[in-house]
Amino acid sequence: ELALVFHREGTVYSVDTLQITDGLITGYRRVMNPDKLLRV
The single-letter DSSP state of residue 34 is: T
**The whole model's pTM is what?**
0.75
Cβ atoms 4, 32 nearer than 8 A = no
Domain ranges (residues) in the chain: 2-36
Summarize pLDDT for 1-40 with one digit per residue, the tens: 679 999 999 999 999 999 999 999 999 999 999 999 988 7
- Cα distance between residue 29 and residue 13, in whole Å: 14
Q: Which residues does 2 contact at the CB level (< 8 Å), separation at least 6?
A: 17, 18, 20
Strand partners, 32: none
